[in-house]
């Protein structure tokens, strides 16, 4: 069924007006992501996170020519040398943050706005900063038109976080940098979590999960997107 | 005739020049490994043209001048048109895992670049075929032109942008076309096109068409997307395409592995990109050490925690970050070695005020030199030799450097560094950490091997390693670490939330505390590598982390075939980053070369009517196949080997390629004389040539390291002369088996000659890529030995076919 739908989409994507087709594809995607969750670890993704992956209309966050691939579990180019992450990675990052409906989240790197939209369905408010003007403008408009009133975006330097809305329950940095900006660590609440994907564009395979203890001590964990043991046999 | 000879020289020069230019351009717009693709392409063009001429020979012979002039003109036009067209193919190497359409795009790029080389080769092939009586003179001008083209391209790249160099090179075949057209009685239509093309070149090509279209996923493209960012400086040379970017609104802050506990934010920086990637940074420094206090909170600062006012040698000074770090920590003397003078100029002159004039500090001496060469000549003893991060994490992470030879991180290199340390001195090497670890484990293995080879019985006493979440710093001491030093390492790491990966006497429980990995990989690796079962560990590791050596200097190559099925199965589940793509692109290039070689060279040949006796194919086909494989094996291995000596892959390609061309040409010219003057009855001249090749190549395998060590400190022109002197005798004899076989074939079955060219061309196409793959797996010496086996097999085959 999915293949058939994809064929239809490929041939007639511009003419497609019925969101029901996309909804079916999204349901298939959720099933795929659910299976993939087993690759990273033993814990399945929370139903809330999977529910959101099944609700947020990813095809509205990618350029029109990419819409037909929107529900394939792969990253897609969104222009300006940027990508929208693979849905599985989005689900994994979101799940790692353990979002709650009272949480205030900071996102550094709005991109197309998809990750912000996913978070917005789960938390109280998302503040998102983008450094590329064209993306900031389009993502802001897109989120607004899709009714994500609890997302606030701005164009600017994410290095210093967003002081007036700090501290944050969690922070998600979507572009890997040479170091974790100290101001972001400062703006993270004690007990808060920060997630940073590591790896080149199209190739995220590792997430850095930074946890701030109640005493302010920082501990990180490197979460592989897949379980991969580098040694064969006994070790 | 003279005009034809000069025309041949011009076409040949342009072809080689274009090949070198494309290698440079592809390194900028894509990545380094496409260079290998280009060599293979050029040969494919040459092979296919031979077939084309064989098929249409009778029709082309009667219109030789027109055909030559037209081919030269088309070559000139295709050089530019294909340069523009190929950059418009939306090939994205990084997307290959997700989008199989990218393989199609890669094939299109390959085919587009094939076109100009095809027309160039048509010119040369036509000259040989239709003016065979002057073959030796044509051959000389062809080879001399090729040598000249290589030198010309390098010279042009020093003084002009790649685009300007291209336009100048395009004029050469146009001039060749004009020269040959002037021999025609009726030349009006052709002259019209030539003149129009010249006028277009002079006035009509909009600069925008020639702009380099850099992949939007390379660092420079990404940086320029940031609000208000702008290019401050751009310069180009064969050593690199350097771009300085200022981003006032979102300042660059490059501080790899900065501690989470730091209270110091790095100051504003200028981003510097080499070949549009590999970002490094010039840090603003106002003379107040407090403004760069973050430099104390990087893993790379570890050695300064153990040394007081050290004399420091920095290998790869780049944009001066390590110099600034040394000054910040109170170094008494800093010798900074940097290969690329453009890079030094940025810090010393163009942005000297921004950088706080650190290169004017009386403690600092900057040497424009290659690291290995400097170290081998140096007599001073340093307290610290520092090798910092010169590549960006992006490049490191995507596996795109897999094919870069790096003679900085080999066992021989580390031994040379240790020799330059005073008693108790430290070698410090900082690397990005990949997960699961690859670089850092290979570095540990390389350091342990270097220590063992230097006669250290317990290398575990001389090494220490710490890591942040994304960088590791390895210390190798000239002597055993003392307990006081170990305590300082512990404290340095603990206070900055860095993890200790290894130090003498470390307990397993001390690893993996702040930046927790699924397992304490680096500690486990260090313990395993220091144990008696290190071989077992290296074998069982899913990435290739065997120590890099000068014979196999692929430090960044981690690919293992055994791991491929597992990571391919995981690729869409987030495992794409586990795959070493650079290597797989090379394999894809090999497959393409083989398929396209069959389709474009061998398939059309089947259209040629068979006029040769039965058994010719068996007697000669194998011979020319073996020669094609063997010649390129030796040539490619030498290009790689001379990269260490000449300090730059591009110099190496230019010198080795032109050296082999010229001296093989001379050998070819002398082959008939050799055949006539052999004193031994019954001994084939091919066997004599092959024996000479075998002796020379084997001698080189043993003496080249010593010769390189002896002369590496010379100036570039002298090193080029030494290289050519070494290449000359070997290439001279390697030029003989082919024409000797061809002469014999002409007498027995002239109709098979195009097949001989075709088979040889096909083998060359495949061999160019295969040689690199074999070198990565087994080292250059194995490639050379394999080549000798192929030569020996060819000589045996020839002897057998003679006896039939």
Q: Are B313 and B386 in contact (CB under 8 A)?
A: yes
Choice between B578 and B375, residue whose per-residue pLDDT is larger: B375
Q: Does A138 touch chain B (CB under 8 A)?
A: no
B180 and B306 share one domain: no
Output Rg (C-alpha) for chain A, integer angstroms: 18
Query: Could you count the other beta carbons within 10 Å of the beta carbon of residue A19?
Result: 12
Task: State the DSSP H helix or E strand holding residue B198, giving kind and residue range, or none if neither.
Answer: helix B188-199
Please indicate whether, in this complex, the C-beta atoms of A203 and B97 are within 8 angstroms of each other. Answer: yes
Q: Would you say residue B277 lies in a domain? A: no
Has residue B644 got a pLDDT over 70? yes
B194 and B301 share one domain: no
Q: Would you say residue B601 lies in a domain? A: no
Query: Any alpha helices (H) in A41-181, and if so which ranges?
Result: 47-55, 87-96, 114-120, 133-145
Whichever domain contains B110, its CATH number is: 1.20.1250
B359 and B470 share one domain: yes
End-to-end CA distance of chain B: 41
Give the DSSP letter of residue B232: E
3-class state of residue B314 by DSSP: strand
Q: Are B555 and B442 in contact (CB under 8 A)?
A: yes
* Structural class in CATH, domain A2-224: alpha beta
3-class state of residue A188 by DSSP: strand
Nearest residue on chain A to B281, alpha-carbon basis = A178
What is the CA B538 to chain-centroid distance, rounded?
26
Cα separation values, B158 from B42, B341, B349, B439, B695, Å: 23, 12, 19, 33, 38
B193 and B225 share one domain: no
Choice between B278 and B783, residue whose per-residue pLDDT is larger: B783
Q: Which residue among B173, B193, B214 closes a domain?
A: B214
B38 and B174 share one domain: yes
Q: Are strands B364-368 and B463-467 parallel, antiparallel or unpaired?
A: unpaired
Chain B residues touching residue A36 (CB < 8 angstroms): 573-574
Chain A residues touching residue B516 (CB < 8 angstroms): 219-222
Q: Would you say residue B590 lies in a domain? A: no
Chain B residues touching residue A139 (CB < 8 angstroms): none
Output Rg (C-alpha) for chain B, integer angstroms: 28
B147 and B264 share one domain: no
Has residue B147 got a pLDDT over 60? yes
Please indicate whether, in this complex, the C-beta atoms of B435 and A205 are within 8 angstroms of each other. Answer: yes
B339 and B488 share one domain: yes
Beta strand spans in B222-363 (E): 230-237, 240-246, 269-274, 277-283, 311-315, 333-338
C-alpha to C-alpha distance for A88 and A74, rounded to whole angstroms: 8
Compute the mean pLDDT over every residue in chain B, rounded to the nearest whole number: 88
Q: Does A42 touch chain B (CB under 8 A)?
A: no
Has residue B128 got a pLDDT over 60? yes
Q: Are strands B471-477 and B421-432 parallel, antiparallel or unpaired?
A: antiparallel
Average pLDDT over every residue of A19-44: 79
CA of A104 to nearest chain B CA: how many angstroms apart? 22
C-alpha to C-alpha distance for B651 and B648, rounded to whole angstroms: 5
Share of chain A above pLDDT 90, in %: 56
Please indicate whether, in this complex, the C-beta atoms of B566 and A226 are within 8 angstroms of each other. Answer: no
Give the range among B236-250, B348-362, B691-705 with minimum mean pLDDT. Answer: B236-250
CA of A219 to nearest chain B CA: how many angstroms apart? 5
Chain A residues touching residue B222 (CB < 8 angstroms): 81
Cα separation values, B316 from A231, B313, B319, Å: 33, 10, 9
Half-sphere exposure of A92 (CA within 13 A, CB side): 32
C-alpha to C-alpha distance for A52 and A122, rounded to whole angstroms: 8
Q: Would you say residue B598 lies in a domain? A: no
What is the CA B546 to chain-centroid distance, rounded?
21
Chain A residues touching residue B221 (CB < 8 angstroms): 81
Chain B residues touching residue A86 (CB < 8 angstroms): 572, 574
The side-by-side arrangement of strands in the sheet containing B499-502 is B364-368, B333-338, B311-315, B382-387, B421-432, B471-477, B463-467, B499-502
B233 and B209 share one domain: no
Give the range among B18-32, B382-396, B428-442, B462-476 with minimum mean pLDDT. Answer: B382-396
3-class state of residue B40 by DSSP: helix
pLDDT value, residue B588: 79
pLDDT value, residue A40: 63
Give the DSSP letter of residue B549: B
C-alpha to C-alpha distance for B544 and B563, rounded to whole angstroms: 10
What residues of A are annotated to the active site? Answer: 85
Maximum average pLDDT range among B51-55, B205-209, B387-391, B460-464: B460-464
CB interface of A with B, residues 208-227, below 8 Å: 208, 210, 217-222, 224-226
Q: What are phi and psi of B257, to 5 degrees?
A: 75, 30
Nearest to B445 by CA among B546, B316, B591, B574: B546
Has residue A79 got a pLDDT over 50? yes
Number of domains forming the structure of chain B: 4
Please indicate whether, in this complex, the C-beta atoms of A219 and B397 are within 8 angstroms of each other. Answer: no
Return the bridge partners of A210, or none.
Answer: A194, A220
B2 and B67 share one domain: yes
Nearest to B517 among A179, A183, A222 (CB): A222
Nearest to B226 among A132, A185, A229 (CB): A132
CA of A81 to nearest chain B CA: how many angstroms apart? 5
Average pLDDT over every residue of A147-170: 95
C-alpha to C-alpha distance for B434 and B558, rounded to whole angstroms: 11
Produce one character per residue of A179-190: b if its CB has 16 or more CB atoms within 10 Å, e if not.
bbbbbbbebbbe
CA of B439 to nearest chain A CA: how many angstroms apart? 13
Domain positions in chain A: 2-224
Dihedral in degrees, nearest 10, Cα atoms A61, A81, B571, A91: -40
pLDDT value, residue A197: 86
C-alpha to C-alpha distance for B801 and B748, rounded to whole angstroms: 12
Task: State the DSSP H helix or E strand holding residue B467, giving kind and residue range, or none if neither.
Answer: strand B463-467
State the best of A95, A173, A219, A230 to mutate against chain B, taking most chain B CBs within 10 Å: A230
| B700-726 tens-digit pLDDT | 999 998 898 888 878 888 999 999 999
Nearest to B573 by CA among A26, A34, A146, A67: A34
Average pLDDT over every residue of B556-580: 81
| Domain, as residue range, for B508 | 290-555
C-alpha to C-alpha distance for B307 and B311, rounded to whole angstroms: 9
Nearest residue on chain B to A158, alpha-carbon basis = B250
Chain B residues touching residue A73 (CB < 8 angstroms): 572
Has residue A175 got a pLDDT over 50? yes
B435 and B499 share one domain: yes
CA of A122 to nearest chain B CA: how many angstroms apart? 24
C-alpha to C-alpha distance for B7 and A168, rounded to whole angstroms: 72
Q: Are B184 and B62 in contact (CB under 8 A)?
A: no
Nearest to B579 by CA among B102, B105, B94, B107: B94
Choice between B603 and A220, residue whose per-residue pLDDT is larger: A220
Q: Are B377 and B370 in contact (CB under 8 A)?
A: no
End-to-end CA distance of chain A: 44
What is the CA B717 to chain-centroid distance, rounded?
20
Q: Give the contacts of B345 (CB within 8 A, at least 6 positions apart).
A: none
Has residue A42 got a pLDDT over 70? no
Task: State the DSSP H helix or E strand holding residue B431, giving kind and residue range, or none if neither.
Answer: strand B421-432
The confidence band for A14, taking pLDDT boundaries of 50, 70 and 90, is very low
Q: Are A208 and A178 in contact (CB under 8 A)?
A: no
| B170-194 tens-digit pLDDT | 999 999 999 999 888 777 788 899 9
B343 and B491 share one domain: yes
CB interface of A with B, residues 65-104, below 8 Å: 73-75, 77, 80-82, 86, 88-89, 92
State the best of B573, B575, B578, B584 to mutate against chain A, taking most chain A CBs within 10 Å: B573
Token pair for B55: 């098929």
pLDDT value, residue A16: 47
Has residue A12 got a pLDDT over 50? no
| B530-554 tens-digit pLDDT | 999 999 999 999 999 999 999 998 8
B198 and B225 share one domain: no
Choice between B705 and B782, residue whose per-residue pLDDT is larger: B782
Q: Is B469 buried (19+), middle (13-18) or exposed (0-12) by CB count in 10 A?
A: buried
Average pLDDT over every residue of A61-79: 90
The DSSP string of B646-707 is HSSHHHHHHHHHHHHHHHHHHHHHHHHHHHHH--STT--HHHHHHHHHHHHHHHHHHHHHHH
pLDDT value, residue B572: 67
pLDDT value, residue B586: 81
Q: Are B557 and B545 in contact (CB under 8 A)?
A: no
| B55-84 tens-digit pLDDT | 887 888 888 899 999 999 999 999 999 999
CB interface of A with B, residues 115-134, below 8 Å: 131-133
Nearest to A205 among B254, B540, B574 (CB): B574
């Amino acid at each position: 069924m999915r293949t058939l739908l994809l064929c239809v989409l490929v041939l007639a994507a511009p003419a497609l007006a019925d969101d029901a087709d996309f909804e079916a594809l999204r349901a298939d995607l959720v099933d795929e992501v659910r299976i993939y969750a087993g690759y990273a670890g033993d814990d399945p993704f929370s139903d809330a996170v999977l529910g959101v992956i099944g609700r947020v209309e990813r095809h509205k966050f990618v350029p029109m020519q990419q819409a037909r691939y929107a529900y394939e579990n792969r990253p897609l180019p969104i222009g300006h040398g940027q990508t929208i992450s693979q849905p599985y990675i989005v689900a994994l990052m979101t799940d790692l943050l353990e979002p709650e409906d009272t949480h205030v989240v900071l996102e550094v790197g709005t991109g197309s706005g998809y990750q912000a939209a996913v978070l917005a369905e789960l938390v109280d408010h998302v503040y998102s900063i983008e450094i590329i003007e064209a993306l900031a403008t389009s993502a802001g408009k897109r989120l607004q038109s899709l009714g994500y009133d609890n997302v606030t975006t701005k164009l600017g330097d994410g290095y210093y976080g967003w002081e007036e809305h700090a501290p944050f329950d969690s922070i998600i940095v979507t572009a890997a940098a040479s170091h974790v900006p100290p101001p972001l660590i400062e703006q993270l609440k004690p007990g808060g979590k920060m997630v940073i994907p590591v790896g080149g564009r199209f190739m995220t395979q590792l997430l850095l999960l930074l946890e701030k203890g109640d005493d302010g001590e920082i501990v990180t964990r490197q979460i592989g997107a897949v379980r991969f043991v580098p040694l064969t046999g006994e070790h | 005739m003279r005009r034809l000879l000069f025309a041949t020289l011009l076409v040949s020069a342009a072809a080689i020049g274009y090949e070198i230019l494309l290698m440079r351009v592809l390194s900028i717009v894509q990545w380094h490994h496409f260079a290998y693709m280009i060599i293979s392409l050029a040969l494919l063009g040459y092979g296919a043209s031979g077939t084309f001429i064989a098929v249409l020979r009778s029709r082309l012979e009667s219109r030789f001048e027109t055909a030559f002039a037209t081919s030269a003109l088309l070559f000139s036009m295709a050089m530019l048109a294909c340069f523009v067209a190929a950059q418009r193919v939306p090939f994205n190497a990084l997307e290959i895992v997700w989008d199989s359409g990218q393989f199609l795009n890669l094939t299109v790029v390959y085919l587009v670049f094939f076109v100009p080389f095809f027309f160039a080769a048509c010119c040369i092939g036509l000259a040989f075929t239709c003016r065979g009586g002057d073959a030796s003179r044509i051959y000389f001008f062809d080879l001399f032109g090729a040598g000249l083209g290589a030198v010309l391209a390098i010279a042009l790249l020093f003084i002009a942008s790649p685009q300007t160099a291209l336009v100048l090179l395009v004029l050469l075949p146009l001039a060749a076309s004009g020269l040959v057209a002037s021999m025609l009685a009726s030349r009006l239509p052709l002259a019209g096109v030539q003149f129009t093309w010249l006028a277009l070149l002079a006035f009509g090509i909009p600069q925008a068409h020639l702009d380099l279209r850099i992949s939007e996923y390379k660092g420079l493209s990404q940086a320029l997307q940031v609000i208000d960012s702008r290019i401050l400086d751009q310069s180009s040379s064969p050593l690199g395409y350097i771009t300085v970017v200022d981003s006032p609104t979102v300042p660059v802050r490059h501080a790899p592995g900065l501690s989470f506990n730091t209270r110091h934010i790095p100051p504003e920086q200028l981003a510097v990109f080499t070949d549009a990637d590999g970002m490094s940074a010039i840090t603003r420094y106002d003379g107040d050490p407090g403004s760069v206090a973050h430099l104390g909170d990087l893993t790379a600062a570890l050695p300064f925690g153990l040394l007081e006012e050290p004399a420091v040698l920095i290998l790869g000074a780049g944009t001066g970050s390590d110099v600034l770090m040394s000054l910040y920590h109170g170094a008494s003397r800093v010798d900074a070695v940097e290969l690329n003078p453009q890079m030094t100029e940025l810090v010393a002159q163009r942005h000297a005020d921004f950088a706080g004039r650190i290169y004017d500090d009386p403690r600092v001496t900057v040497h424009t030199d290659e690291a290995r060469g400097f170290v081998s000549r140096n007599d001073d003893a340093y307290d610290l030799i520092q090798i910092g991060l010169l590549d960006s994490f992006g490049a490191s992470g995507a596996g795109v450097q897999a094919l870069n030879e790096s003679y900085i991180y080999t066992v021989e290199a580390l031994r040379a560094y240790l020799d330059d340390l005073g008693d108790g001195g430290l070698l410090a090497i900082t690397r990005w950490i990949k997960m699961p670890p690859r670089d850092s484990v290979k570095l540990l293995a390389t350091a342990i091997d270097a220590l063992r080879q230097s006669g250290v019985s317990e290398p575990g006493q001389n090494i220490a390693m710490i890591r942040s979440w994304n960088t590791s710093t390895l210390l190798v001491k000239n002597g055993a670490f003392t307990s006081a030093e170990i305590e300082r390492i512990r404290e340095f790491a603990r206070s900055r939330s860095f993890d200790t990966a290894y130090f003498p006497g470390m307990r397993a429980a001390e690893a993996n505390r702040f930046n927790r990995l699924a397992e304490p990989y680096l500690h486990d690796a260090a313990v395993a590598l220091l144990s008696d079962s290190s071989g077992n560990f290296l074998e069982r590791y899913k990435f290739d982390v065997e120590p890099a050596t000068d014979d196999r200097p692929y430090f960044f190559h981690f690919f293992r075939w055994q791991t491929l099925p597992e990571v391919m199965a995981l690729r869409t589940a987030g495992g794409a980053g586990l795959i070493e793509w650079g290597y797989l692109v090379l394999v894809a290039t090999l497959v393409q070369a083989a398929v396209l070689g069959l389709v474009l060279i061998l398939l059309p040949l089947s259209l040629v009517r068979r006029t040769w006796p039965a058994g010719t194919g068996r007697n000669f086909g194998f011979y020319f196949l073996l020669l094609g494989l063997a010649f390129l094996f030796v040539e490619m291995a030498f290009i790689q080997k001379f990269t260490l000596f000449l300090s730059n892959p591009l110099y190496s390609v230019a010198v080795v390629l032109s050296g082999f061309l010229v001296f093989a040409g001379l050998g070819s010219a002398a082959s008939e004389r050799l055949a006539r003057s052999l004193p031994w009855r019954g001994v084939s001249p091919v066997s004599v040539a092959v024996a000479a090749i075998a002796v020379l190549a084997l001698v080189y395998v043993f003496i080249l390291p010593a010769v390189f060590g002896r002369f590496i400190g010379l100036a570039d022109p002298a090193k080029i002369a030494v290289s050519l002197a070494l290449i000359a005798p070997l290439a001279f004899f390697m030029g003989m088996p082919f024409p000797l076989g061809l002469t014999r074939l002409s007498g027995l079955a002239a109709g098979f000659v195009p097949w001989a060219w075709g088979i040889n061309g096909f083998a060359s196409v495949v061999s160019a890529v295969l040689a690199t793959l074999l070198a990565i797996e087994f080292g250059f010496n194995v490639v050379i030995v394999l080549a000798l086996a192929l030569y020996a097999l060819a000589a045996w085959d020839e002897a057998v076919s003679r006896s039939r």
